[in-house]
């Protein structure tokens, strides 16, 4: 293929003269081309698309000359870079200074917003998961809700970064969003009040005597340390006969944090590995021998809002036969993004690798399938079908063995069918184990 600059207009040639040296200097050495005696440039291997660079220069020049409004060069070039990255996958993006700062705030775990993790699917803005104890979760937003407008602005054609910027803002300001939920014909309207989002990633409690509950809402840098402290605190209160690890609606987070949490339950073997195009992106993580909870019977709860790092933990525990995975299929985000600072204070979020479970399963667009399917629901007792027991009588004596918040926990188990089934499964596993012994 040859490229002759004499066939283009003067503005296109000027832009081409700028772009071509940049493209050639950034190419691998074997791809560098030399002009022939006629002044044309050949691509040695055909890998450097010089003709497309020339076409880009022509498009740039025609926009500058004929577009209905004047557009400055900086805006056109920024938009070109945004388009170049957004067409790769839903998670790669060009970040201006404000967007780059927003990404840093998210990593640090404190920002003004409604507490929601979003992504793009088939060009639609979709809720991956609402974060625990935030305006989004309290309002009832759910995983896989499609956001069709933000403060009256339709999201069709909107980039992911634009949507995130619109949803963030100062605390105590309101945000109106419309969402379309699967199986419903009419959109739902939500008015939310922004707050400073400081999500506590780890919570724990005893569901019943000997049965613990560990909730991880997202993976931050200190999550493994906090989870270890929670496990040790529960074990000090009483020996654990079983544990529910709740990863539902967990959007992921820091890779090393996911590895650290999985390592709390594994004393050997592979946890996760990544594969990319360059050696720096090919990583492997294995469990260490020092493990605080390597023998506690374990049930892991997942659902469609469990993504990325949450899927790494669930996949590792499933492949290592360490626990029973219960719930519904996870989200299926198995790609690794790196935030790369640029010299001008802006940044680049680029997908650089894919996650794989210990048995070599790709999480990307597949997700983790539970060992036991249990859909979300609520236990309802039909009127008139419940027998009267001692606990129903006014003034009955309380059991000295029961936790003080037994009634509150029982109510939670009735409202959370998946959690109740996880507890029942742990009890069954203990019964079978005792009979074997």
Q: Do the strands 174-180 and 188-193 form a parallel or antiparallel pair, or are they unpaired? A: antiparallel
Q: Is 98 helix (H, G, I), strand (E, B) or coil?
A: helix
On the CB side of 35, how many CA atoms lie within 13 Å of its CA?
A: 9
How many CB atoms within 10 Å of residue 105?
15
Under a CB-based contact definition with an 8 Å cutoff, are residues 368 and 314 in contact?
yes
> Which tokens hold the place of 135?
């305006």
Using the structure block, give the residue that is written with the tokens 């650290």.
260
CA neighbor of 204 nearest in space, from 194, 216, 189: 216
Under a CB-based contact definition with an 8 Å cutoff, are residues 216 and 197 in contact?
no
Q: Dihedral angle at the C-alpha atoms of 362, 255, 425, 214, nearest 10 degrees? A: -170
Q: Which residues contact 118 (CB under 8 A, 6 or more apart)?
A: 125, 126, 127, 128, 147, 160, 163, 164, 167
> Which tokens hold the place of 313?
């933990």
Please give the order of strands across the beta sheet that includes 372-373: 202-208, 211-216, 242-246, 298-302, 324-327, 372-373
Among all residues, which ones are annotated catalytic?
A: 308, 319, 333
Using the structure block, give the residue that is written with the tokens 């040639």.
13
């Amino acid at each position: 293929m040859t490229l002759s600059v004499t066939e283009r207009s003067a503005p296109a040639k000027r832009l081409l003269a700028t772009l071509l040296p940049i493209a050639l200097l950034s190419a691998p050495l074997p791809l560098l081309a030399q002009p022939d005696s006629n002044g044309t440039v050949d691509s040695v291997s055909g890998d450097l698309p010089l003709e497309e660079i020339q076409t880009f220069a022509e498009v740039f020049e025609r926009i500058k000359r004929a577009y209905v409004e004047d557009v400055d060069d900086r805006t056109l070039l920024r938009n070109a870079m945004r388009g170049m990255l957004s067409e790769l996958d839903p998670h790669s993006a060009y970040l201006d200074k404000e967007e780059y700062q927003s990404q840093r705030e998210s990593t640090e775990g404190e920002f003004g917003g409604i507490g929601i993790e979003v992504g793009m699917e088939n060009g639609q803005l979709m809720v991956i998961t609402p974060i625990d104890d935030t305006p989004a979760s309290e309002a009832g937003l759910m995983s896989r809700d499609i956001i069709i407008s933000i403060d009256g602005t339709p999201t069709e054609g909107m980039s992911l970064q634009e949507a995130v910027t619109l949803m963030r803002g100062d605390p105590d300001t309101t945000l109106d969003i419309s969402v379309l939920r699967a199986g419903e014909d009419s959109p739902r309207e939500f008015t939310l009040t922004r707050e400073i989002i400081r999500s506590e990633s780890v919570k724990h409690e005893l569901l019943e005597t000997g049965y613990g509950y560990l909730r991880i809402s997202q993976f931050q840098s200190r999550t493994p340390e906090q989870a270890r402290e929670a496990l040790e605190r529960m074990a000090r209160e009483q020996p654990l006969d079983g544990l529910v690890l709740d990863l539902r609606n967990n959007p992921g987070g820091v890779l090393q944090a996911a590895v650290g949490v999985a390592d709390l339950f594994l004393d050997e073997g592979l946890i996760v590995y990544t594969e990319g195009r360059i050696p720096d992106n090919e990583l492997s993580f294995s469990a260490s021998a020092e493990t605080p909870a390597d023998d506690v019977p374990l049930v892991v709860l997942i659902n469609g809002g469990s993504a990325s790092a949450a899927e790494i933990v669930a996949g590792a525990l499933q492949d290592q036969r360490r626990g029973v995975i219960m719930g519904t299929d996870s989200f299926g985000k198995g790609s690794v993004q790196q935030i790369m600072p640029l010299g001008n204070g802006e940044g680049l979020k680029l997908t650089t690798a894919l996650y794989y479970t210990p048995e070599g399963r790709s999480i990307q667009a597949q997700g983790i399938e539970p060992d036991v399917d249990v859909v979300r629901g609520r236990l309802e007792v039909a009127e008139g079908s419940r027998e009267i027991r001692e606990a129903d009588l006014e003034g009955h004596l309380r059991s000295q063995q029961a936790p003080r918040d037994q009634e509150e926990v029982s109510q939670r188990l009735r409202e959370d069918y998946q959690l109740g089934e996880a507890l029942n499964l742990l009890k069954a596993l203990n019964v079978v184990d005792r009979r074997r012994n």
